[in-house]
Copies of this chain bind each other. A is one copy, B any other.
Amino acid sequence: MRFLVVNCNTSREITRVIEANAMAAAREGTEIVAIEPAWGPESAEGFYESFVTAAAVLDTVLTYDGPFDAVVMAGYGEHGREGMRQVLEVPVVDITEASAQFACLVSHRFGVATTAPAATAGIEDSLRGAGLWSRCAGVLATRVPVLGIHQDNELTLDALVETGRALLDLGADSVVLGCAGFAGLDRRLEDVLGVPVLDGVACAVAAAEGLVGLGKTTSKHGPFRPPDPAKTWTHWPRALAGKNVGARTMATDRSSP
């Protein structure tokens, strides 16, 4: 099977981190295609950047030419999840939802350690929308900005350890890494904290493998019924190419078996 893993920002460096992480988590036979939007901010931290990013990620996936069996949305706490599910038939797995679900299977309450304080409110909204808020002990910021994560891995790990301990004090017995850029630090954090640490991209790849393996596709009965293809669109990006998106948003011409 072949997964389209979409970084939510325009940073190629973060795309590569995500790609390596997804490949490490994928089982044999799962192909990973990691992409990022052609436009938008280099990182998304807070409501404004997240709403722009939602449109950019939708545009990116809808203008991607090759076949894929599932989409992994690799921006932690970012908007757009329900919109992507509406325009695709293949499963859409958001790293926020998938890692919280897996955390619920191996712990009683999870906590989220994210990057900037600006991101926590949106993450809470995302978890509420996913129906998993009652299992969350708290969302705390490490104060490491997205683009600073890999400048000094040891400093980042120290911040994660401190934040993770604060989450345990709030009643968490597992920790979810609240940024796709934290990839690769889960094992080390697990060793220090002694509780399960869940990485979003890894969990999302595993959940997508499960769904595709079971032959499940996204419901087209309710709010995820595709939008009206006849509606007129005025030149929006469509990956900056000026095409009329409306005419091609049907899920069926995207998914490939």
Among A87, A130, A134, A223, which residue has the most Cβ atoms of chain B within 10 A? A223
A102 CB, min distance to chain B CBs, angstroms: 6
A54 at the A/B interface (Cβ < 8 Å)?
Answer: yes
* Contact residues on A (Cβ < 8 Å of other chain), bracket: 35 or more
Q: Interface segment, A154-162, A177-185, A230-238?
A: A230-238
Q: How far is the CB of A19 from chain B (nearest CB, A)?
A: 17
Provide the main secondary structure of the chain A interface.
mixed
Q: How many copies does the complex hold?
A: 6
Chain B, Cβ-Cβ closest to A129? B125
Check A38 for interface membership: any CB of B closer than 8 A.
yes
Known A98-B105, A210-B203; contact A224-B83, beta-carbon cutoff 8 A: no
On chain B, the residues within 8 Å of A213 by CB distance are 25, 27, 206
Interface positions of A from 202 to 218, Cβ below 8 Å from B: 202-203, 206-207, 209-211, 213-214, 216-218
Whether the Cβ atoms of A224 and B108 lie closer than 8 Å is yes
- Contact residue among B42, B48, B249 (Cβ-Cβ distance under 8 Å from A249): B48
* Complex A-B: 30 CB contacts under 8 Å: A27-B213, A40-B233, A40-B234, A42-B233, A45-B228, A47-B83, A47-B223, A48-B58, A48-B249, A51-B55, A51-B58, A51-B79, A52-B55, A52-B59, A54-B54, A92-B105, A107-B219, A107-B221, A107-B224, A118-B227, A128-B128, A131-B131, A131-B132, A131-B134, A173-B224, A195-B219, A196-B217, A203-B210, A206-B211, A237-B237
